Every structure is written in C-alpha cells, then in structure tokens.
C-alpha cells in the first residue's frame, strides 16, 4: 500500500511553477519631499551607484544632498505624476500584467524595484512561496551597467542568501544589440516619426549618463549605448535618408566628469548648427520616468527652443506598447528555454 502524498503533518506542497521577476530602478511612493528623501537616501547610499567610500560620502549625502535635493526633485516628480502614480512604477506594472499569461499558466510574472516598492526581496520570496522552483530575474536595462543591472541582481541574490531551499535562478543578459530590441525600437520610432507634423533635421538618442571613471574601470555601459545607437541608426537609415542618430548622455550628477556629450548641451548647441527641428528618443529606458518626461520632454524642449529651435518632439519609450511587449516576450521566452516548451 502506498502512503498518502504528502504524508500527514508534512508542510503543504504548492504546485511547481516558473517565475519571471521583472526588475527596474524604483521611484518614490509619492511626489512629496519626504517620500523623495527616503527614496534618494536608499538609492544614493548604494555603493554600486556612488562609488565613493561611505565615510566620505555619507556626510555629504546626509548633510547636504538629502536636505536640498528632495524638495526640488519632488517638484519635478509632481510635473509627471499620473493618476496611477509614478510613470516608472505604473508602466512597469503594466508590462508585468501584459506578460502574465504569455507563457502558460505555470509561469508566474511579477515585478519589483531595486529601491522603494515593491522590494525585490519581498517579490522573490513570494514567488518561491507560490511554488516557483525556477526563477528568471529580468533587469529591464538593455545596456549593462554595474549601477543598474548588477545592483538589481545583487539584491536578488542577497535575498536568496536567507533561504534554506533556494529556487534555481537565471538572469536576463543585457540586450543592447539584440535584433529583437533594435527591431522594436526601429518599428516604434518609424511610426512615431510618421505621426509628427514636422520632419526633424536630427534624432538625438539620449542615454542616462554615468561617471566617466566607470568606463575606465571596465564597465561596458558606454560601449553598449554606442552600439545600440549605431545599430538603430543603421536600422532607421532608409527613413532617415542621411540624417544621423546623435548620441548624448543626460542626468549628470555631482562634480565629477561624466560621459559626454551632455544631452542638455547638445540640445542647446543644435540650433546654432542649423538643426531647428529635433526628435529626442531615450532607448536606454524601458519605461518613461522622471528622467525622460521631465528632463527631456520638458527641460530639454526649453533648452532647445531657448537656443533658437523651432520644433521639438520627445518620442516615448517602448513602455507597454506592442513593439516593446513583443520584444520582451521574445527575450524572456528565449531565456526560459529548457524550462518551458519551445512552442509556448
């Protein structure tokens, strides 16, 4: 006679599942100075983000930055905050919801943030508790950077350190040159350009900046951004007809030298070079956020127009639109091979 499974007194066994955890940067819970202070305190204390010894950096952060920046940043967040909250959080949530169901009922999709809510540790443990024995962690950064990809993965692995029974883990590699990503950007930018009521003289591809020192230390981020911009320029060549995709780096922070050219300086210089109509894209951001909606679409426009530009368009990120979601399905399906059937 066989014994009942599980035997009496055994902890409950949930059905076996596969998890996909999308991770992104994170955002304040509300567009007020207190919430922004809490968020920036966590974000800017990350040694992967600010690579200055804590003994030197923390007094500057706690004594100066967290007493001045939150009020200014909260105002900026207020300009882009939607009915469903911070754009970054709302869009990442929608991406996760749209993916749920794409890989069959045994695949659970969720999302988490490196800073703020929902925390990576909570969602990862929740996935394990729901029966996920295999989990794909998918940092939604096309270009690898230690300050983004690595710190998100670090946080996930730190959470696993506390588990007796760990799930098997895979992580999504950077996809800066993946044909699925370049193709999605091409399709989206082509249709965005076709919908404009002017023809831009130039396309500026703005990526988040990093301290120049990180390139010298071996971070591939700068090279990944350059390759994305080159491949996208080549893919768009038939519609651009000789006009180039110009690369620039935004969001400089602090006094150190950052990757250049700077987006704000590029936009202010273009009209002087005869470029009066511009379209700006942000291919490194998988979701629109403060850095795109306020820094590019509002302040970028102001700099360009103040310098004599006549027409400015900010073209939104892939977000949860059809090309971006098709790309995410392709990338994730590939990483799940061997865990799910190929035809799922």
Ligand X SMILES: C=CC1=C(C)c2cc3[nH]c(cc4nc(cc5[nH]c(cc1n2)c(C)c5CCC(=O)O)C(CCC(=O)O)=C4C)c(C)c3C=C
Instruction: Enumerate the known binding-site residues for Fe(2+).
Output: 208, 291
Q: Which does 210 bind (CB under 5 to 8 A by kind): ligand X, Fe ion, none?
A: ligand X
Give the total of residues touching ligand X (CB under 6 A): 23
Nearer to ligand X, 140 or 270 (CB): 140
Whole-angstrom distance between the N-terminal and C-terminal Cα of the chain?
A: 38
Q: Does 221 bind ligand X (CB under 6 A)?
A: yes
Peptide bond into 118 cis (omega under 30): yes
Q: Could you tell me which residues are beta bridge partners of residue 314?
A: 280
- Considering only 20, 22, 33, 88, the residue that binds ligand X (CB under 6 A) is 88
CA nearest neighbour of 317 among 282, 280, 290 = 282
Candidate ranges 3-11, 143-151, 176-184, 238-246; the one touching ligand X (CB under 6 A): 143-151
Are the CB atoms for 293 and 82 separated by under 8 Å? no
Question: Residue 44 CB, nearest distance to ligand X (Å)?
Answer: 6
Among residues 45 and 251, whose Cβ is nearest to Fe ion? 251
- Strand partners for 112: 23
Pure H helices in the chain: 33-43, 54-60, 66-80, 87-99, 120-129, 151-160, 179-194, 212-216, 221-240, 263-269, 290, 301-306, 322-335
As given in the structure block, the two tokens for residue 155 are 């946080």
> Of the listed pieces 126-134, 145-153, 168-176, 181-189, which binds ligand X according to CB under 6 A?
145-153
How many whole angstroms separate alpha carbon 86 and alpha carbon 98? 18
CA gap 118, 283 in Å, rounded: 24
Candidate ranges 94-102, 173-181, 274-282, 284-292; the one touching ligand X (CB under 6 A): 284-292
Taking CB under 6 A as the rule, does residue 86 contact ligand X?
A: yes
The residue ranges that bind Fe ion (CB under 5 A) are: 251, 291, 295
Q: Which one of 73, 92, 188, 206 is in contact with ligand X (CB under 6 A)?
A: 73
| Rounded Cα distance, 142 and 130, in Å | 29
Between 67 and 191, CB nearer to ligand X: 67
d(C-alpha 63, C-alpha 87), whole Å: 29
Residue 208 interacting with ligand X (CB under 6 A): yes
Within residues 162-201, the interface with ligand X by CB under 6 A covers none
By CB under 6 A, residue 147 contacts ligand X: yes
The answer to whether 182 and 235 are in contact (CB under 8 A) is yes
175 versus 258: smaller Cβ distance to Fe ion: 258
Is position 285 an interface residue for ligand X (rule: CB under 6 A)? yes
Query: Which residue ranges make up the annotated binding site?
Result: 208, 291
Asked if residues 318 and 186 have their Cβ atoms less than 8 Å apart, the reply is no
User: What does 221 interact with, of ligand X, Fe ion, none (CB < 5 to 8 A by kind)?
Assistant: ligand X
Q: Which is nearer to Fe ion, 137 or 210 (CB)?
A: 210
86: partner contacted, choices ligand X, Fe ion, none (Cβ within 5-8 A by kind): ligand X
CB of 209 to Fe ion, least distance (A): 8
108, 132 contact by CB (below 8 A): yes
> Hey, which residues between 22 and 51 contact ligand X (CB under 6 A)?
25, 27, 40, 49-50
| Sheet containing strand 202-208, strands side by side | 245-250, 202-208, 277-281, 311-314
Q: What is d(CA 194, CA 320) in angstroms, rounded to the nearest whole number?
A: 20
Least Å distance between CB 52 and ligand X? 9
Residues forming contacts to ligand X in the complex (CB under 6 A) are 25, 27, 40, 49-50, 69, 73, 86, 88, 141, 145, 147-148, 208, 210, 221, 251, 253, 284-285, 289-291
């Amino acid at each position: 006679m066989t014994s009942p499974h599980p035997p009496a007194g055994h902890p409950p066994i949930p059905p076996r599942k596969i998890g996909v955890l999308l991770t992104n940067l994170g955002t304040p819970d509300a567009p007020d100075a207190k919430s922004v202070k809490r968020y920036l305190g966590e974000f800017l204390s990350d040694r992967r983000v600010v690579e200055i010894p804590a003994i030197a950096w923390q007094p500057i952060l706690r004594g100066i930055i967290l007493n001045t920046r939150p009020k200014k940043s909260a105002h900026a967040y207020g300009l882009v905050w939607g009915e469903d909250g911070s754009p970054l959080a709302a869009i990442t949530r929608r991406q996760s919801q749209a993916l749920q169901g794409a890989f069959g009922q045994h695949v659970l999709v969720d999302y988490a943030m490196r800073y703020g809510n929902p925390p990576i540790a909570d969602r990862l443990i929740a996935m394990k508790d729901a029966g996920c024995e295999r989990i794909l962690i998918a940092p939604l950064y096309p270009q690898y950077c230690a300050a983004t990809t690595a710190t998100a993965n670090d946080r996930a692995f730190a959470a696993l350190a506390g588990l007796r029974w760990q799930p098997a883990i895979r992580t999504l590699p950077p996809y800066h040159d993946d044909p699925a990503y370049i193709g999605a950007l091409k399709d989206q930018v082509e249709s965005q350009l076709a919908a404009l009521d002017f023809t831009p003289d130039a396309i500026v591809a703005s990526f988040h900046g990093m301290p120049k020192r990180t390139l010298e230390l071996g971070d591939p981020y700068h090279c990944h951004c350059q390759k994305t911009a080159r491949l996208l320029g080549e893919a768009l060549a038939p519609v651009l007809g000789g006009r180039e995709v110009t690369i620039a780096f935004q969001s400089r922070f602090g006094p150190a030298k950052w990757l250049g050219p700077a987006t704000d300086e590029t936009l202010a210089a273009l009209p002087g070079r005869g470029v009066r109509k511009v379209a700006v894209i942000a291919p490194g951001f998988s979701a629109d956020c403060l850095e795109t909606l306020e820094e590019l679409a509002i302040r970028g426009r102001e700099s360009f127009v103040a310098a004599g530009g006549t027409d400015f368009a900010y073209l939104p990120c892939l977000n949860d639109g059809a090309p971006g979601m098709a790309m995410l399905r392709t990338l994730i399906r590939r990483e799940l091979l061997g865990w799910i059937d190929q035809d799922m």
